[in-house]
Amino acid sequence: IDSICTNQSCINERNHQIGLMDLIYSRATGVLVSIHDPGESYSELLHWLRIGFLNHTITLVEPYVRQLTTLLSTRYFRRVWVIQEVALA
Protein backbone atom coordinates (compact mmCIF):
# COMPACT_ATOMS: atom_id res chain seq x y z
CA ILE A 1 0.00 0.00 0.00
CA ASP A 2 2.85 2.38 0.75
CA SER A 3 3.99 2.33 -2.87
CA ILE A 4 0.43 3.15 -3.99
CA CYS A 5 -0.74 5.54 -1.26
CA THR A 6 2.48 7.52 -0.89
CA ASN A 7 3.36 10.03 -3.59
CA GLN A 8 6.61 8.43 -4.76
CA SER A 9 7.72 11.55 -6.66
CA CYS A 10 7.53 13.77 -3.54
CA ILE A 11 10.71 13.26 -1.51
CA ASN A 12 9.30 15.06 1.55
CA GLU A 13 6.19 12.86 1.66
CA ARG A 14 8.22 9.69 1.14
CA ASN A 15 10.66 10.62 3.91
CA HIS A 16 7.79 11.45 6.26
CA GLN A 17 6.11 8.09 5.60
CA ILE A 18 9.39 6.19 6.01
CA GLY A 19 9.74 7.87 9.41
CA LEU A 20 6.36 6.42 10.44
CA MET A 21 7.09 2.87 9.33
CA ASP A 22 8.45 1.73 12.67
CA LEU A 23 5.17 2.70 14.35
CA ILE A 24 2.98 1.23 11.62
CA TYR A 25 4.70 -2.12 11.15
CA SER A 26 5.74 -2.82 14.74
CA ARG A 27 2.15 -2.30 15.94
CA ALA A 28 0.50 -4.29 13.16
CA THR A 29 -1.19 -7.56 14.12
CA GLY A 30 -0.42 -8.89 10.64
CA VAL A 31 1.24 -7.82 7.42
CA LEU A 32 0.30 -9.07 3.95
CA VAL A 33 2.73 -8.82 1.05
CA SER A 34 2.13 -9.35 -2.67
CA ILE A 35 5.24 -11.02 -4.06
CA HIS A 36 4.17 -11.09 -7.77
CA ASP A 37 5.58 -14.58 -8.28
CA PRO A 38 2.61 -16.88 -8.95
CA GLY A 39 4.78 -19.84 -9.98
CA GLU A 40 6.54 -20.11 -6.63
CA SER A 41 5.24 -21.16 -3.22
CA TYR A 42 7.10 -19.77 -0.23
CA SER A 43 5.08 -21.37 2.58
CA GLU A 44 7.76 -23.94 3.53
CA LEU A 45 10.49 -21.30 3.31
CA LEU A 46 8.53 -18.91 5.54
CA HIS A 47 7.88 -21.72 8.04
CA TRP A 48 11.64 -22.54 8.09
CA LEU A 49 12.49 -18.86 8.65
CA ARG A 50 9.85 -18.46 11.37
CA ILE A 51 11.11 -21.51 13.29
CA GLY A 52 14.71 -20.36 12.87
CA PHE A 53 13.96 -16.89 14.22
CA LEU A 54 11.92 -18.25 17.13
CA ASN A 55 14.77 -20.60 18.08
CA HIS A 56 17.42 -17.94 17.37
CA THR A 57 19.13 -20.32 14.98
CA ILE A 58 18.85 -20.78 11.23
CA THR A 59 20.55 -23.78 9.68
CA LEU A 60 21.36 -23.24 6.01
CA VAL A 61 19.56 -25.91 4.02
CA GLU A 62 20.08 -25.91 0.24
CA PRO A 63 16.45 -25.91 -0.96
CA TYR A 64 15.53 -23.08 1.41
CA VAL A 65 18.61 -21.03 0.55
CA ARG A 66 17.72 -21.36 -3.14
CA GLN A 67 14.12 -20.32 -2.45
CA LEU A 68 15.27 -17.42 -0.28
CA THR A 69 17.52 -16.21 -3.10
CA THR A 70 14.56 -16.39 -5.50
CA LEU A 71 12.32 -14.55 -3.04
CA LEU A 72 14.85 -11.77 -2.44
CA SER A 73 15.21 -11.23 -6.20
CA THR A 74 11.48 -10.53 -6.67
CA ARG A 75 10.14 -7.09 -7.51
CA TYR A 76 8.95 -6.55 -3.93
CA PHE A 77 12.47 -6.56 -2.50
CA ARG A 78 13.79 -3.98 -4.99
CA ARG A 79 12.45 -1.15 -2.83
CA VAL A 80 14.98 0.11 -0.28
CA TRP A 81 12.65 0.39 2.72
CA VAL A 82 11.32 -3.17 2.43
CA ILE A 83 14.03 -4.52 4.74
CA GLN A 84 12.75 -2.18 7.46
CA GLU A 85 9.18 -3.34 6.81
CA VAL A 86 10.14 -7.01 7.06
CA ALA A 87 12.24 -6.52 10.18
CA LEU A 88 9.49 -4.62 12.00
CA ALA A 89 6.52 -6.74 10.88
On the question of pLDDT at 86 being above 80, the answer is: no
Task: Clarify whether residues 7 and 25 are in a common domain.
Answer: yes
Task: Clarify whether residues 68 and 46 are in a common domain.
Answer: yes
Task: Clarify whether residues 45 and 31 are in a common domain.
Answer: no
CA dihedral for 54, 57, 60, 66, sign (positive or negative): positive
Q: How large is the average pLDDT for residues 10-37?
A: 83
Task: Clarify whether residues 28 and 49 are in a common domain.
Answer: no
Report pLDDT for 2. 65
For residue range 62-79, list pLDDT tens digits in order.
Answer: 888 888 898 888 888 887
Task: Clarify whether residues 57 and 86 are in a common domain.
Answer: no
Report pLDDT for 37. 66
Closest by CA position to 57, among listed 48, 70, 46, 68: 48
How many separate domains does the chain show?
2
Range of the domain at 23: 1-36+80-89
Task: Clarify whether residues 23 and 43 are in a common domain.
Answer: no
Task: Clarify whether residues 23 and 42 are in a common domain.
Answer: no
